[in-house]
Each structure stands twice: as structure tokens, then as C-alpha cells.
């Protein structure tokens, strides 16, 4: 009887939490401000299909990775949007930086200049099916290899993505503190992810608390470092665009740099926290005679081993994402003083 009451109480609490979460999403996205540039008025991005090649004036540059140069005249059918069903003659130009070799599906840009007057141009490849395929393959691998825990990890990941896209971003545009919202969402996502994977237990509670403390420690370090180096969001590449957004929204951009670090930190710290807690829990299961002090010492030893590989992982992740920039810096033979005092290097080191 008590078990049934406990089960009913848990279901009621879960239902209330779900209703509150949906209500928060509705509130965050209700009447959210959207930045619209005046020069984008009358511009739509739709899907098109190449019906035939009208004229082919392309050449192949064998000296530069075989890229195409010149142009190609295409007949394109518009598949979506207000001009769906129309056909248009489109000139697709090729250059070193713009080399969209469309075959069938294509992403097109439609600039409306007047009533039923518009101009169509090739925007980019139509990549939606491939992206969906990659996501589906990723989810299937997680479920096939991880079983129930893999499926639960997918649910936890989906929950985190929803929190970022449909709660953090719209609330930030409405003028709420991005840093406060980020910290709150990290706290919620931490607990939800851990509890989805392993349920409510001593191990998941400890892992969630440890993970949150680790993220906060990273936040303190990043805050000290950015103040010491005088780095804020205003020094980032996206600062100019973000400043334009503030003209039509209530966005506060100063703390966005720190928010990004916190979100990135969350994934790494959750990984380490889970590894340590799982290992210590297994040790405790094998030998229950071990006291708290010995279990803590074991956890510290496991953590020290994890630190070496995790530090290497993070540095290589930064190096991988910045490879093109490092190659450019190396080829220009930039001096040490110039390099170390650029905003880009300071931002990368703090991150």
C-alpha cells in the first residue's frame, strides 16, 4: 500500500514538473523579440530542385584542388514557400570561396522586389536530409550499443538541447540575465541527465552535486581569468552582430562569453564526475568494508588519472577547432608579442 502511494506521489510530482517545464518554454517563447535587418526585408530562403542545365560555362582549376570556375545557368523549380511551383532561370557562379556544385536539391535565396517580382539565386547545398541522417545514425548507435542507458542518454541530451534553444536563448533576448539563466539550467540539466541514466540513487546525487560544483569552480576560474586579461563578449568575433541585435531586443551581451564557457564545461565535468562516481560505487559494491576515507582516497586517485587524459582531450579539441587559424598564424610568421596580445588567443586560452 505504501509502495503504491509512493509510486502515485512520484508520478504526480513528475507530471507537475513536466507541466511547469512546458509552461516555462511557453513563457520564454511567447512574444519573444526577433532582430530583423532592414536589408533583409523581402528575402526568403527556400528549397529548390534543379530541372536542367540550360548553359554550362564552367572550367576546372586543376592547380587548386580541381575547383570549378565560371558559371552555370540552371532551370530551378521552387519547392517551398509562397512561390512554390514556380520555375526560374538561375545563374550559379563559381569561385575559389563560393563553389556550390548543385545537382538536384538546392537551397535558394529569393529576393522579392515588388508584387510578384522576385529574383532567385543559389544560396547553398540543401543539407537537411544528410543532417537528419547523421542525427538518426548517432541516436541509433547510442541505443544499439548502450541499450536502455543509451536511450536514456539520448533523452537527457534532448532535454539539454531544448533547455538551451527554447529557454536560454529566448529568455536572454527578453533581457533576463544570461548568466543566471545558464547557471540555473546547468543545475537542472545536470540532475535530470544523471537521474535519467541511473535513477535517483546515492551515486547519481553525488555525481550531480560534484558536477555542479566542478562547473561553478570553472566559472570562478574563467571569471578571474577574463577580468585579468580584460576579455568580455565585446572582444569576440560575433560582438558586432550581437550589438545590432541589442538595438531591437533586451539582450545583455557582456556575460555571454562566460555562459558559453559554462555550457562547454558542463559536458566535460559530467563525464569526469560519472566516471569517478561509477568506479567508486563499484569498489564499494565489491568491498563494503572500505570506509569513507578509503573510498574518498580511491576516488581521488581515479580523478587524478582522469585529469591527465581529460586535459589532453580539451587541449586537442581547441587545437582541432583552431587548426586553420594556427596554420594561418604560422605561415604569416606572427611575432610572439603580437600573437599573445591578440583577443583571439586570449579567448582561446580562457576557454
The string of pLDDT tens digits covering residues 93-150 is 998 888 888 877 899 999 988 777 899 999 999 999 999 999 999 999 999 998 888 8
pTM: 0.81
Say if residues 251 and 188 touch (Cβ distance below 8 Å): no
CA distance 104 to 1: 63
Say if residues 264 and 219 touch (Cβ distance below 8 Å): no
The string of pLDDT tens digits covering residues 218-275 is 888 988 998 899 888 888 888 888 898 888 888 999 889 999 989 988 888 888 888 8
State the chain's mean pLDDT as an integer. 87
> Can you give the pLDDT at residue 40?
46
The string of pLDDT tens digits covering residues 162-176 is 999 999 999 999 999
> Can you give the pLDDT at residue 139?
94
CA distance 309 to 138: 24
Instruction: At 310, list the grid cell.
Output: 581529460
Amino acid at each position: 500500500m505504501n509502495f503504491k502511494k509512493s509510486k502515485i506521489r512520484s508520478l504526480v510530482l513528475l507530471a507537475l514538473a513536466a507541466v511547469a517545464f512546458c509552461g516555462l518554454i511557453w513563457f520564454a517563447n511567447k512574444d519573444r523579440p526577433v532582430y530583423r535587418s532592414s536589408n533583409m526585408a523581402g528575402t526568403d530562403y527556400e528549397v529548390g530542385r534543379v530541372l536542367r542545365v540550360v548553359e554550362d560555362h564552367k572550367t576546372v582549376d586543376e592547380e587548386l584542388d580541381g575547383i570549378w570556375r565560371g558559371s552555370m545557368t540552371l532551370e530551378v523549380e521552387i519547392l517551398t514557400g509562397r512561390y512554390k511551383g514556380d520555375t526560374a532561370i538561375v545563374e550559379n557562379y563559381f569561385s575559389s570561396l563560393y563553389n556550390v556544385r548543385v545537382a538536384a536539391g538546392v537551397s535558394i535565396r529569393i529576393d522579392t522586389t515588388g508584387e510578384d517580382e522576385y529574383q532567385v539565386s543559389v544560396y547553398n547545398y540543401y543539407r537537411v536530409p544528410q543532417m537528419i541522417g547523421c542525427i538518426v545514425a548517432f541516436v541509433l548507435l547510442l541505443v544499439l550499443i548502450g541499450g536502455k542507458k543509451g536511450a536514456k542518454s539520448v533523452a537527457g541530451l534532448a532535454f539539454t538541447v531544448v533547455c538551451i534553444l527554447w529557454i536560454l536563448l529566448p529568455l536572454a533576448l527578453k533581457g533576463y540575465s544570461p548568466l543566471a539563466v545558464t547557471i540555473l539550467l546547468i543545475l537542472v540539466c545536470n540532475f535530470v541527465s544523471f537521474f535519467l541514466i541511473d535513477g535517483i540513487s546515492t551515486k547519481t546525487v553525488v555525481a550531480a552535486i560534484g558536477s555542479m560544483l566542478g562547473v561553478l569552480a570553472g566559472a570562478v576560474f574563467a571569471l578571474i581569468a577574463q577580468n585579468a586579461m580584460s576579455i568580455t563578449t565585446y572582444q569576440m568575433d560575433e560582438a558586432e552582430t550581437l550589438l545590432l541585435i541589442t538595438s531591437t531586443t533586451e539582450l545583455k551581451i557582456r556575460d555571454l562569453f562566460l555562459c558559453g564557457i559554462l555550457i562547454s564545461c558542463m559536458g566535460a565535468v559530467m563525464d569526469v564526475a560519472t566516471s569517478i562516481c561509477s568506479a567508486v560505487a563499484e569498489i564499494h559494491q565489491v568491498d563494503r568494508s572500505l570506509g569513507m576515507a578509503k573510498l574518498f582516497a580511491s576516488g581521488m586517485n581515479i580523478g587524478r588519472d582522469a585529469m591527465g587524459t581529460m586535459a589532453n582531450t580539451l587541449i586537442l579539441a581547441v587545437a582541432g577547432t583552431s587548426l586553420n587559424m594556427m596554420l594561418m598564424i604560422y605561415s604569416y610568421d606572427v611575432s610572439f608579442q603580437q600573437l599573445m596580445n591578440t583577443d583571439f588567443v586570449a579567448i582561446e586560452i580562457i576557454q
